[in-house]
Amino acid sequence: MATIEKDSVSGQNTTGHEWDGIKELNTPLPKWWVYVFWATVLWAIGYWVAYPAWPLVNGYTKGTFGYSSRGELDNELAAQKKARSAWLSKIEASDVAAVEKDKDLLRYAMAGGKIAFNENCAPCHGVGGVGAFGYPSLADDEWLWGGALADIEQTIKFGVRNTNANARASEMPKFGADGLLKPEQITAVSDYVVSLASKAPAKGSAGETVYAENCAVCHADDGAGNKDLGAPALNNQIWLYKGTKDAIAAQIAKPKHGAMPAWSERLDASTVKMLAVYVHNLGGGK
Amino acid sequence: MATPKIDPTLKKPAGDGDGPLYAETVMIHPRTVKGIFRNWKWAALIVLLAIYHIAPFLRWDRGPDAPSQAILADMTGRRGYFFFLEIWPQEVYYITGLLFLAAIALFFMSSLAGRIWCGFFCFQTVYTDLFMYVERLVVGDRSKRMALDRARWTGDKLVKKAIVNAIWLVISASCGIGFTLYFGDAPTMLRDIFLGREDSAVYGTIAVVGGCCFLLAGYAREQVCLYMCPYSRFQSAMFDEHSLIITYEEWRGEPRKPIRKTETFEGRGHCIDCKMCVTACPTGIDIRDGMQMGCIGCALCIDACNTMMDKYNLPRGLITWDSSANQAARERGEKTRIHLVRARTIVYVAIIAAVSGLMIFGLSSRKSFDLAVQHERSPLFVPLSDGSIRNGYTVKILNMVREDRQFELTVSGIEGAGLAVVGGQASGAKAMLQVEPDTVGTYNVFVTAPADKLQSKRTPLYFTLRETAKGGSNRLESLFAGPER
C-alpha cells in the first residue's frame, strides 16, 4: 500500500509511488486540459451527427452532410473522366499516325495504352507484350499480320479468326491429319525448316522439294512468310509454337490456330488507338 | 501552478494537501517594467514580425512558370524556392539539414546564455507580448487588468473585453494570412484573400493558424510553455555551471525582508521582498527559488529588480544574468569569469560547422540535371529475328534549370549496341533528347545488341548523359539482360 506523504521541498503531496528513493509528486492536471478532453468528446459526437456512423438493423445512420466514401469515389472518377475527355476526344478525332507524331498525344497514348493493355491484352500477350507459347510476342520485330501502325490498329480492331466480318483469318492445312503428306515427308520438311531457321537451308534435300511444293506458296521460297496471309516467317529463331524439330512437325501435321477478339466491339475508338500506339512502341513496331 | 515553491509566505500550489484533482488556471497579468531587456524584447518583436510579414513580398525572377517570389513553398508545382535556390522534392534533405542546424543552434544558444530563444525570439513569446501590450493599452497595467477580470460583467467590462478581443483577432488574422503568403504569389494572394476569391484550403489555413495564434497568445500564454512545449522539459540537459542563466544572488539578497524608510540594510539581505520580480514574470514564477522549468529566460525580472535597486541605491544585479559557477565565486568573493569556450560549446560549434559545410558543399556541387535509368522487367529481353537481343529502359532526365535543353544519351560497355527512342531521334549508340525547362523528361529507350557480344544472363551497360550546351555529364551503370548460355 502506497503511503502518501508531504514532500518537504515543494510542500506538495506525493502519489505514494517510490522508485529507488525517488518519490513522485502528485501534481494536478491543469483544468483546461480536461476541458480539451471533453471538447474532443463533443467533436466526436458532432461527427456521429454529420457523418455516417452507427450501424442499424437495415443500414446505418447517414449523417447530415450526406457523405459516403462511394460518393466521393464517384465524384473523383467523374472529375477524372472530365479531365481525360479533352485528351480522349483529341485522340478520337485524329488518326493513329497523327497521335504518334504529336509529342503530347504520344505521351498520353503511351500511358493510357499501357493501362488498357494491362487490363485487356496482358492476360494472353503478357505484361510488356512479352508473349507466351501460342500467344505472339508483341515486343519483337516479327509480325504475323504486319507491324506497321495501321496494321496493328486493324488487328486490334477486328481481331483474328473470330466472328467479326473484318477479322484477320487464315488457316494452314492439316498436312498430317488430313493425309496430305506422308509421315516421312513431314519429318523431311521439318528438318528443312529447322535448317531454314538457322539460315543454312539444306539445299538438295528431300525436305526442300516437299517445302517448295507445299509450303512456299504461303511461307515464301526463302521462308520469309507472307503478312497478307498471316503466314509467319520460318527463316529466323522466333517461333510461336516452339522451334524444335518435333514442335515444327506437330504444327505441320495438325496445326494449332490462335484467335483474338475484335476489340472494337468491346473498347471505344480512342482506347483502341492508344493500344495501337502503345503496341507499336513496345519495341518491334515497323 | 505546477512549479515548486519554497517560499512559505507564498500561496501553496494547487493540489497541495487534499487539494483538488485538477489545477485551476489563474490568468497571469504581469506588471509592465522598464529596462534594457524590455527594450531588447521590443526590438526583437518588431524585427521578427517585420521579417515575417515582409519576406513573402520580396521578389525574385522565376520565369513564366512560377511566381517571382524570393521565398516560396510551391506545393502544386512541387518546388521550394529560397532566393537563388530551387529545391526539388527529392532534395528535401536540404530542409532536413536546415532544421538540424536550427536545432543545434538552439542547443548552442542555450548552453551559452540560457533560454534566450524562449524569452526573446519564440513566436509564442512575441505574440503573447504583443497581445499583452494590446491589453495594457485598452485596460491598463497589471492591477487594472486583474480588477477587470474580478469585476462583474458590466457594460464597461464588456466593451473593454470586446475591444481587446477584436484587436487580438485582427493580429491573429494577420498572422494566419502572413503564413499562407509563403505558399503562393503573395501580392495576388493577399488581394484574392480579401476579395473572397481564394481556395477554401487557404481560408482554412488562415483559420487554423490564426485561431491557434488567438487562443495560444490570448488565453493559453504561459500554459503553452509549461505544458505544451517540450523544450522547457529538456533545457537542463543543455545547461552547465557556466551557462548564463537568469539567477538570483541569494548570498546577497537573503535574509529578505520588507524595509521601512528609517531602516538601513545593515545585517540583512538586499532583497526587500517587494515581489516586483514575481509580478513582472510572464509565467508567474518566483525566480528567487532558483532555476526552474517555468523560467523562459525573458529577463524581465532583472529589469524589475534593477528598478528597485536603483531606488534604494543598492548595486544592480540582485537578479542577474550569470552562471551558477560565477555566483558561487561571487559568494566566496573570488574573481568571476565568463566561460564561453567549453567542451559543450565547442562540440556544438563543430557540429554546426560540419553540417553547414556539408550543405554548402552539396549546394555548390548540385548538378543542374540528373539521370535515372530503370531497366524494363517485362520483358527482360526480346530476341529479334536477326538473332540480336533487345532490352527496354525507362530513362528519366531531370532538367533542373529554367531553359529548354538538349541532352545526348549514349550507351557503352557492349560492342555494337544501338539505341532507339520512342518519340526521339537516335543513331547508333547515341540519341538526342530534348527536355523542357524545369521538368522531368521521361523516355522509353530500347537498346539492341548482338547476341555474341553478351555475357550469359546479364552484361553491364553504361548510360552517359551529356548536356550539349555546357557539356556537363552524368554516367550510370545499368544492365543488359540476355538469354542464359
The reply to whether A244 and A267 lie within a common domain is no
Scanning the structure block, which residue is given the C-alpha cell 512456299?
Answer: A216
- pLDDT of amino acid A8: 79
The reply to whether A19 and A94 lie within a common domain is no
Amino acid at B94: Y
Cis amide prior to A201 (ω within 30 degrees): no
Residue of A nearest to B391 (CA): A283
Average pLDDT of span B394-409? 89
The reply to whether A206 and A241 lie within a common domain is yes
CB B346 within 8 A of CB B353: no
Does residue A136 belong to any structural domain of this protein? yes
Query: Strand pairing of B425-427 and B430-435?
Result: antiparallel
Residue of B nearest to A5 (CA): B17
- Residue B75 is inside which H or E element, if any? none
Average pLDDT of span A62-72? 92
User: pLDDT tens-digit profile of B76-131?
Assistant: 888 899 988 888 888 888 889 999 999 999 999 999 999 999 999 999 999 999 99
Distances from the Cα of A274 to the Cαs of A87, A115, A130, B350, B424, in angstroms? 11, 10, 18, 59, 18
The reply to whether A151 and A122 lie within a common domain is yes
The reply to whether A194 and A233 lie within a common domain is yes
- pLDDT of amino acid B7: 42
The reply to whether A247 and A203 lie within a common domain is yes
Which residue range is the domain that position A29 belongs to? 14-60
Does residue A175 belong to any structural domain of this protein? no
Instruction: State the distance between the two ends of chain B, measured CA to CA, in whole angstroms.
Output: 80
Instruction: State the distance between the two ends of chain A, measured CA to CA, in whole angstroms.
Output: 89
The reply to whether A242 and A264 lie within a common domain is no
* Yes or no, beta carbons of A281 and B5 under 8 Å apart: no
B268 grid coordinates = 540583512
| Alpha helices (runs of H) in B91-216, residue ranges in sequence order | 93-113, 116, 123-138, 142-150, 155-180, 186-195, 200-215
**Number of compact structural domains in chain A:** 3
What confidence category does residue A241 fall into, taking pLDDT thresholds of 50, 70 and 90? very high
The reply to whether A34 and A50 lie within a common domain is yes
Over 60: is that where the pLDDT of A141 sits? yes
For residue A100, the chain B residues in CB contact (below 8 A) are 423
Look at residues B282, B281, B284, B341 and name the one whose alpha carbon lies nearest to residue B305. B281
Residue of B nearest to A106 (CA): B423
The reply to whether A264 and A131 lie within a common domain is yes
Residues of chain A with pLDDT > 90, as a percent, come to 74
DSSP, residue by residue, chain A? -----B-TTT-PBEEEEEETTEEEE-PPEEHHHHHHHHHHHHHHHHHHHHS---EETTEE---TT---HHHHHHHHHHHHHHHHHHHHHHHHHS-HHHHHHSHHHHHHHHHHHHHHHHHHTHHHH-GGG--BTTB--SSSS--SS--SHHHHHHHHHH-BSSS-TT-B------TTTTTSS-HHHHHHHHHHHHHHHTT---TT-HHHHHHHHHTHHHH-TTS--BTTTTBPP-SSS--SS--SHHHHHHHHHS-----B--GGGTS-HHHHHHHHHHHHTTTT--
Q: What is the dihedral of CA A34, A35, A37, A40, to 10 degrees?
A: 180
Does residue A178 belong to any structural domain of this protein? no
Look at residues B206, B32, B219 and name the one whose alpha carbon lies nearest to residue B136. B32
CA separation for the pair B344, A35 (Å, rounded)? 42
User: Measured between CB atoms, does B390 come within 8 Å of chain A?
Assistant: yes
Look at residues A63, A54, A115 and name the one whose alpha carbon lies nearest to residue A72. A63
Does residue A18 belong to any structural domain of this protein? yes
Residue of B nearest to A8 (CA): B6
Does residue A41 belong to any structural domain of this protein? yes
* Longest pairwise C-alpha distance within chain A: 116
Look at residues B379, B375, B387 and name the one whose alpha carbon lies nearest to residue B411. B375
- A98: CATH: 1.10.760.10
Closest chain B C-alpha to A129 CA, distance in angstroms? 7
* Yes or no, beta carbons of B23 and A28 under 8 Å apart: yes
DSSP label at residue B32: P
A·B CB contacts under 8 A: 110
- pLDDT of amino acid B453: 87
User: Measured between CB atoms, does B47 come within 8 Å of chain A?
Assistant: no
Average pLDDT of span A56-82? 93
Does residue A50 belong to any structural domain of this protein? yes
CB A234 within 8 A of CB A193: yes
Backbone conformation region of residue A201, classed left if phi is above 0, alpha if psi is from -120 to 50, else beta: beta
* Longest pairwise C-alpha distance within chain B: 116
Over 80: is that where the pLDDT of A10 sits? no
Over 70: is that where the pLDDT of A220 sits? yes
Average pLDDT of span B381-406? 90
What is the reported pTM? 0.78
What structural domains and CATH numbers belong to chain B?
1-10+94-108+230-366 (no CATH), 36-93+109-229 (no CATH), 369-481 (2.60.40.10)
Question: Which class for B463: exposed (0-12), middle (13-18), buried (19 or more C-beta within 10 A)?
Answer: buried
For residue B17, the chain A residues in CB contact (below 8 A) are 6, 13
User: pLDDT tens-digit profile of B11-66?
Assistant: 444 444 456 778 888 889 999 999 999 999 999 999 999 999 999 999 998 877 78
Beta bridge partners of B440: B398
Instruction: Convert B170-194 to b/e letters by CB count within 10 Å (16 or more is b).
Output: ebbbbbbbbbbbebbbbeebbeebe
For residue B382, the chain A residues in CB contact (below 8 A) are 130, 137, 139-140, 283-284
B230 grid coordinates = 517540450
DSSP label at residue B70: S
The reply to whether A266 and A249 lie within a common domain is no
Backbone conformation region of residue A204, classed left if phi is above 0, alpha if psi is from -120 to 50, else beta: left
Look at residues B393, B407, B391, B383 and name the one whose alpha carbon lies nearest to residue B459. B391
User: pLDDT tens-digit profile of B128-157?
Assistant: 999 999 999 999 999 999 999 999 999 999
Amino acid at A241: Y
DSSP label at residue B457: S
B12 grid coordinates = 501553496
Which residue in the set B16, B383, B422 is minimally distant from A140, CB to CB?
Answer: B383
CB B193 within 8 A of CB B251: no
DSSP, residue by residue, A139-170? SSS--SS--SHHHHHHHHHH-BSSS-TT-B--
The reply to whether A266 and A248 lie within a common domain is no
Backbone conformation region of residue B220, classed left if phi is above 0, alpha if psi is from -120 to 50, else beta: alpha
Which residue in the set A27, A130, A281 is minimally distant from B444, CB to CB?
Answer: A281
Question: Packing angle between helix A183-197 and helix A206-214, nearest 10 degrees?
Answer: 90
Average pLDDT of span B446-457? 89
Look at residues B208, B286, B384, B198 and name the one whose alpha carbon lies nearest to residue B1. B286
CA separation for the pair A73, A61 (Å, rounded)? 20
What confidence category does residue A253 fall into, taking pLDDT thresholds of 50, 70 and 90? very high
Which of A60, A79, A94 is a domain's end point? A60
- pLDDT of amino acid B18: 54
Average pLDDT of span B271-297? 92
Picking from B9, B10, B22, B442 by the largest number of A CB atoms within 10 A of its own CB, the best residue to mutate is: B22
- Residue B439 is inside which H or E element, if any? strand B439-449
Q: Report the alpha-carbon angle B454-B458-B460, nearest 5.
A: 80
Which residue in the set B8, B23, B383 is minimally distant from A30, CB to CB?
Answer: B23
Over 60: is that where the pLDDT of B257 sits? yes
Closest chain A C-alpha to B450 CA, distance in angstroms? 14
Picking from A6, A29, A35, A149 by the largest number of B CB atoms within 10 A of its own CB, the best residue to mutate is: A29
Look at residues A99, A101, A250 and name the one whose alpha carbon lies nearest to residue A176. A250
> Could you give the ipTM of this predicted complex?
0.76
What confidence category does residue B365 fall into, taking pLDDT thresholds of 50, 70 and 90? confident
- pLDDT of amino acid B33: 94
The reply to whether A270 and A131 lie within a common domain is yes
CA separation for the pair A95, A150 (Å, rounded)? 9
